[in-house]
Amino acid sequence: MVLEVLLGLLIIFLLAYLITRKTAKTHGLHTIPMVSPWIPFFGNAHLLHNAKTHIVLTKWAKKYGSIFRMQLFKEDIVVLNDFASIYEALVVKGRDFAGRPPMYRTEIAQRNRHSVVWQTYTDKLVFLRKEVLRSLRMYGTGLENLEHKCRPDIELMLKRFSEAKGQPIDPWNIIYDAVCNVMLSFTLGTRPDLTSTSVQYIKHINALFNDTFGAGRALRLDFLPFLHLLRDDCHCRHQEALKLRDAFWEEEFAKLKFQDDSRDCVVKHLLSFLEDDKEKKTEPNGINGTSISSSFLKSGGSKHDVDLSLTTIKEVFTNLILAGTDTTATALTCLLLLFVHHPHIQISLWEEISATIGNERLPCLADREKLPYMEATLLELLRYISHVPLAVPHYTMCDTSVLGKRLPANTTVYINLWSLHHDESVWPNPWTFNPSRFLDSNGKLLPSSHENRRRLMPFGAGRRVCLGETLAKNRLFLFATSLVQNFFFQAEDEKNLPEVDPQAYEMGLFYIQNHSDYKQFIGKVNENVLFKLYLIQ
């Protein structure tokens, strides 16, 4: 009996070996070095560290070169790790690499058909990107809109920090609330007050999505979709995220109808493209996910054959709230930890702000060019933490190549921004936080054409570059400058200071001093969640 079972297992493994081996060979990627050891069925999946995929991939790049491939179960994935390969793929051959791979996790609720992040490169995607950018108005006088939308939340954030005198505070929550409120204002035209549960609700949903869309454990769902039948925990949390998101959306969407029409926001802008009122009236179905097809959409007077529905609008809203909140809140809280570790940087920033803006008014975007050290610090922050380390997976739209190596159509490609930003040959001492990398010998910000600026790609590049890049950079500036202008962040207990190395972020306690009266008060930081790396995948 035992012998028969063993024989059965052997045959299964042999078959799996032959099938997966065949896939790898016929896929036409043989010029690209392959990670080893490779084992039947799993490929290289057993070698990946769940929470630190980007660190494992970066180690492999040192061994196999800047372009290598790995096999996760039966799928080959090509990983690009340096500037030359990433630039060629995303910028020079942007269209070839602009797709998104089909993934079980994005097919579940048709997110691959409706969202911006997970949709492959289609006319609908191009249309959505264009219209979301248009409604965010991140150019010219539109930037005043950003200042206007951020101002009340920055003021409230500063007030909450000040009020914490003598009491433990949680900067993560205060910052998260403010950043999330700005996103709600952009997407739904609402701004919940502090007693509202909306932001807490969103925080919970975002944490669930973040957890189940990362490149860690949840990846297994894409390769072994049958796991959902076994009530896999990642699958259950993913389902919960979708359920909570739908409930939240339904409630907010109902409120939108009673809102003052003059308030512009992304959701209303996209709604205006639904063909006519008749379609909008069928909204309960749309909200629950049944597509209300609209083939005639208005855009600058022309008609697009794009299937826009309430499901699409719900998905776009979900993308913006997640991508627009957690990324920026994480970056700002990491900045506070860096301040605690590098007080001299914080002092230099404060001196720069005092000399140019003073403390009579809050900073505005016109101040950006007057504050090169602050600009350099924010660039270095994005390089150092690289908190979207593997971008979002790309997919080849046609047969193509990178650095002379052939890639067939329909190949999944990972963009390793973590490796790009910590490459010792480009960034000397990459684990040292050093804003001067982005300054010239006169303390001026390096021009955007400078090698160091070109090689920094925290938002990706090309056709799938982060949709919120301008919003994110400007908002980071406004928030960070206001914090430094008003407070000094200091360690309560130097000995128990958490690590600042982004390879091992953890959290602890620190003080915040108010510049105006230098009265110390204790800042208590949420120990668990604060410096978790953010993986968008």
Q: Residue 55 is which amino acid?
A: I
**β-bridge mates for residue 145, sequence order:** none
- Separation of alpha carbons 102 and 91, rounded Å: 22
187 contributes a contact to ligand HEM by CB under 6 A: no
Q: Is 417:393 a contact under the CB 8 Å cutoff?
A: no
389 contributes a contact to ligand HEM by CB under 6 A: no
Rounded to the nearest angstrom, the gap between the alpha carbon of residue 496 and the centroid of all alpha carbons in its chain is: 30
471 contributes a contact to ligand HEM by CB under 6 A: yes
Q: Is 234:220 a contact under the CB 8 Å cutoff?
A: yes
Output the CA torsion sign for 184, 185, 187, 193: positive
By CB under 6 A, name the one of 87, 161, 273, 459 that touches ligand HEM: 459
Q: What's the closest the beta carbon of residue 318 comes to ligand HEM, in angstroms?
A: 10
327 contributes a contact to ligand HEM by CB under 6 A: yes
Interaction pattern, residues 303-322, with ligand HEM; x per rule: CB under 6 A: ----------------xx--
Residue with Cβ nearer ligand HEM (340 or 385): 385
81 contributes a contact to ligand HEM by CB under 6 A: no
By CB under 6 A, name the one of 43, 214, 216, 460 that touches ligand HEM: 460
- Separation of alpha carbons 154 and 530, rounded Å: 20
- Separation of alpha carbons 64 and 58, rounded Å: 10
Residue with Cβ nearer ligand HEM (118 or 161): 118
What is the Cα gyration radius of the chain? Answer: 24
Residue with Cβ nearer ligand HEM (24 or 381): 381
Q: What is the footprint of ligand HEM within residues 407-426 (CB under 6 A)?
A: 415
Residue with Cβ nearer ligand HEM (117 or 242): 117
Residue with Cβ nearer ligand HEM (439 or 472): 472
- Separation of alpha carbons 410 and 396, rounded Å: 5
Distances in Å between the Cα of 384 and the Cα atoms of 171, 358, 404, 501, 528 are 21, 29, 30, 9, 21
Residues 6+ apart with CB under 8 A from 354: 485
456 contributes a contact to ligand HEM by CB under 6 A: no
332 contributes a contact to ligand HEM by CB under 6 A: no
By CB under 6 A, name the one of 29, 180, 308, 392 that touches ligand HEM: 392
116 contributes a contact to ligand HEM by CB under 6 A: yes
324 contributes a contact to ligand HEM by CB under 6 A: yes
In terms of Cβ atoms closer than 10 Å to its own Cβ (0-12, 13-18, 19+), residue 375 is: buried
By CB under 6 A, name the one of 331, 337, 340, 456 that touches ligand HEM: 331
Residue with Cβ nearer ligand HEM (66 or 333): 333
Write the DSSP string, 314-377: HHHHHHHHHHHHHHHHHHHHHHHHHHHH-HHHHHHHHHHHHHHT-SSS---GGGGGG-HHHHHH
Name the one range near ligand HEM by CB under 6 A: 141-149, 323-331, 334-342, 363-371: 323-331
Residue with Cβ nearer ligand HEM (52 or 149): 149
Q: What's the closest the beta carbon of residue 514 comes to ligand HEM, in angstroms?
A: 27
364 is in an annotated binding site: no
Residue with Cβ nearer ligand HEM (32 or 334): 334
By CB under 6 A, name the one of 79, 175, 402, 466 that touches ligand HEM: 466
Determine the size of the site formed for ligand HEM (CB under 6 A).
23
Name the one range near ligand HEM by CB under 6 A: 36-44, 217-225, 324-332, 478-486: 324-332
Q: Residue 323 is which amino acid?
A: A
φ/ψ of residue 331, rounded to 5: -60, -45
175 contributes a contact to ligand HEM by CB under 6 A: no
113 contributes a contact to ligand HEM by CB under 6 A: no
133 contributes a contact to ligand HEM by CB under 6 A: no
**β-bridge mates for residue 76, sequence order:** 71
109 contributes a contact to ligand HEM by CB under 6 A: no
Residues 6+ apart with CB under 8 A from 315: 111, 114, 115, 116
Residues 6+ apart with CB under 8 A from 406: 28, 29, 31, 399, 400
Which segments are annotated as binding site?
A: 466
Residues forming the annotated binding site for heme? 466
Residues forming the site for ligand HEM (CB under 6 A): 116-117, 129, 319-320, 323-324, 327-328, 331, 388, 391-392, 415, 458-460, 464, 466-468, 471-472
